[in-house]
Amino acid sequence: MSASIALQPGALERYETPSTCEPAWVRVVLITIALTFFAVFLLLPLGTVFAEALRKGWGTYLASLSSPDAWAAIRLTLLTAAIAVPLNLVFGVAAAWAIAKFEFPGKRLLITLIDLPFSVSPVISGLIYVLMFGAQGWFGPWLAEHDIRIIFAVPGIVLATIFVTFPFVARELIPLMEAQGAEEEEAAVVLGASGWQVFWHTTLPNIKWGLLYGVILCNARAMGEFGAVSVVSGHIRGKTNTMPLHVEILYNEYNYAAAFAVASLLALLAIVTLGLKTLVERQTRRQRQESIKASEIES
């Protein structure tokens, strides 16, 4: 721990050595371009969201958030995330564990498949579920017979969200677990730990920051997902509208104040996520540095 703090001053000094520095005007120009770009494309829109949301005062703002439809959209979004994130947490840890600690046939294929939701357009992710569970889909008739609704209902939204957010946790954990190797787990087993104890006492503490980071990203995407959810939702007000979908509907109805009010909640979520992410990133980096440092000492 003390070592990683000691690294910081060294890292700063490196930027300040004259031999590796660009002249002052180059720095000023580059920084100005970067900041201007940042202001115009990121800060300005973000500010606009909040400005538009509050244009008609706090009263309207609160009223549009507490309207039954908006409230339903918020609840549905929270519900979806509450189901999708824990499931992907379990899937992600299981997949990363299998990939990082074991050799098995089809491992490459599994790694590729985990990335599939990232490489496919979200609209297609939604369509897959319509094709499977929709009225004309593979399981459509059977589902209709048993009076189970998946498409244009909450289960479809949850399924599409799970699919889209699947890679976040696994992607974050695989490199971390691969860097750490299986020796600590082996040591724990030899000392008599059961499989569950090995996971709980050695694997989990070593990956906790990476895991949290993955969960934060996963959650942000689960709440913000538009494309895939839009395809399977059916846009039934107060029933199958998540927050992003609700924003779209309000906007299309020229109800700008309400649209921006809901949007401001999503924007707020993004800001909180970024803040948390920065905090956790710092911890992950430290953990990774420690495992790299440990393996450097060893070799």
List contacts with other proteins (CB under 8 A): 1-3, 183-184, 186-194, 197, 201-202, 205-206, 290-291, 293-295, 297-299
Select 86 or 205, whichever has its Cβ closest to other proteins: 205
CA 175, CA 181: separation in Å to the nearest integer? 10
Question: Whole-number minimum distance, CB 297 to other proteins, in Å?
Answer: 7
- Annotate 214-267 with three-state secondary structure: HHHHHHHHHHHCCHHHHHHHCCCCCCCCCHHHHHHHHHHCCCHHHHHHHHHHHH
Q: Are 235 and 249 in contact (CB under 8 A)?
A: yes
Select 201 or 277, whichever has its Cβ closest to other proteins: 201
CA 166, CA 161: separation in Å to the nearest integer? 8
- The 8-class DSSP code of residue 18 comes to G
Whose tokens are 């924007």? That residue is 267
Question: Whole-number minimum distance, CB 2 to other proteins, in Å?
Answer: 8
Question: Whole-number minimum distance, CB 103 to other proteins, in Å?
Answer: 10
Question: Whole-number minimum distance, CB 162 to other proteins, in Å?
Answer: 31
- 244-253: list long-range contacts, CB under 8 Å, 24+ apart: 245/73, 246/69, 246/70, 246/73
Select 126 or 210, whichever has its Cβ closest to other proteins: 210
Select 69 or 184, whichever has its Cβ closest to other proteins: 184
Question: Whole-number minimum distance, CB 18 to other proteins, in Å?
Answer: 34
Select 26 or 294, whichever has its Cβ closest to other proteins: 294
